[in-house]
């Protein structure tokens, strides 16, 4: 399959999807996951306001999926999954807004899988075929609510606050995403860097595992885990998640 790049963007009549080619976006009629047509005339990408690259359905994330991120924790025997709400998602250039109650918020650069087919109790081969494309993500996390003195029973706000799931800027199809360089920067300084080939559980394994218990559907997203150590963000920071061959997701950090 040839590599194709897709975006979603704002129009006067609502969100639209488009095929990105040579700096222009060609509007799509229909579903990117099924039958659709592509406009003949394109609009310059730099004149559009981007949204999340696909209209998300369910949002999953994997914890502890790089050895470099485990610290003194044991290697998990299965993918450690949790949910993020759709309301946590924000696009490229949108602000990560820190609630005043959040005191230790970190960025987590991640490869994000986009599911394109309905999938239930699938083996790895079928799971791999159900991955429609990939994009960049940031699993923003408050460590105090996650595992500090203010720890909650679940990670509903540690990982799920509004704006805690930046995503984008583009969705890429047809790419071998098994060995891409992932880099996270805060204010231009590299704070995380590792290849996706170092995932403990690769993409197909994660998708297959989820499908044993939860039916996957087109538009479902899976944040695949973050490498290395992370560090806090402060209002005024700019966080970038760059993945080789996909692009750079850039988000400023603001106080509420």
| CATH label of the domain that carries residue 99 | 3.90.850.10
Structure tokens belonging to residue 155: 């990670």
**Do 122 and 228 sit in the same domain of this protein?**
yes
Same domain assignment for residues 194 and 104: yes
Q: Is the pLDDT of residue 69 over 90?
A: no
For position 70, what pLDDT does the model report? 85
- The pLDDT tens digits for 136-169 are 999 999 999 999 999 999 999 999 999 999 999 9
Looking at the 3D structure of the chain, how many domains does it have? 2
* Same domain for 13 and 26: yes
The pLDDT, as a whole number, for residue 73 is: 86
Q: Is the pLDDT of residue 1 over 80?
A: no
Instruction: Quote the tokens at residue 72.
Output: 């003194």
**In angstroms, what CA-CA distances link 128 with 75, 83, 100, 131, 209?**
23, 21, 41, 6, 12
195-238 pLDDT, tens per residue?
Answer: 999 999 999 999 999 999 999 999 999 999 999 999 999 999 99
Domain co-membership, 24 together with 130: no
- Give dist(CA 186, CA 240) in Å, integer: 6
CA distance 94 to 211: 31
- Same domain for 81 and 163: yes
Closest CA relative to residue 127, chosen from 232, 205, 31: 205
Contact 228, 190 (CB under 8 A): no
* Residue that is last in its domain, among 36, 51, 66: 51
Say if residue 71's pLDDT is above 90: no
251 and 140 in a single domain? The answer is yes
Task: Tell me: do 30 and 77 sit in the same domain.
Answer: no
Residue 5 belongs to domain spanning: 1-51
Mean of the per-residue pLDDT values of the chain: 97
Residues 29 and 125 in one domain: no
Q: Based on the domain organization, do 88 and 186 belong to the same domain?
A: yes
34 and 139 share a domain? no
Task: Please give the structure tokens belonging to residue 57.
Answer: 């359905």
């Amino acid at each position: 399959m040839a590599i194709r790049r897709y975006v979603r963007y704002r129009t006067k009549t609502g969100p639209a999807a488009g095929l990105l080619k040579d700096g222009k976006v060609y509007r799509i009629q229909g579903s990117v996951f099924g039958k659709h047509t592509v406009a003949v005339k394109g609009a310059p990408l730099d004149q559009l306001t981007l949204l999340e690259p696909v209209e998300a359905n369910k949002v999953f994330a994997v914890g502890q999926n790089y050895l470099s991120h485990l610290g003194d924790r044991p290697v998990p025997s299965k993918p450690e999954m949790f949910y993020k709400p759709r309301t946590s998602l924000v696009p490229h250039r949108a602000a990560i807004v820190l609630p005043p109650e959040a005191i230790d918020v970190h960025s987590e650069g991640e490869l994000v899988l986009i599911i394109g087919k309905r999938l239930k109790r699938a083996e790895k081969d079928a799971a791999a075929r159900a991955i429609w494309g990939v994009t960049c993500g940031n699993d923003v996390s408050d460590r105090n609510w996650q595992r500090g003195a203010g720890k909650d029973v679940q990670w509903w706000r540690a990982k799920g606050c509004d704006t805690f799931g930046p995503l984008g800027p583009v969705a890429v199809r047809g790419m071998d995403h098994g060995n891409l360089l992932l880099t996270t920067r805060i204010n231009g300084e590299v704070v995380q860097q590792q290849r996706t080939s170092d995932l403990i559980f690769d993409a197909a394994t994660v998708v297959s595992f989820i499908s044993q218990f939860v039916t996957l559907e087109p538009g479902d997203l899976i944040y695949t885990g973050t490498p290395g150590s992370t560090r806090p963000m402060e209002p005024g920071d700019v966080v970038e998640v760059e993945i080789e061959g996909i692009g750079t997701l850039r988000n400023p950090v603001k106080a509420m």
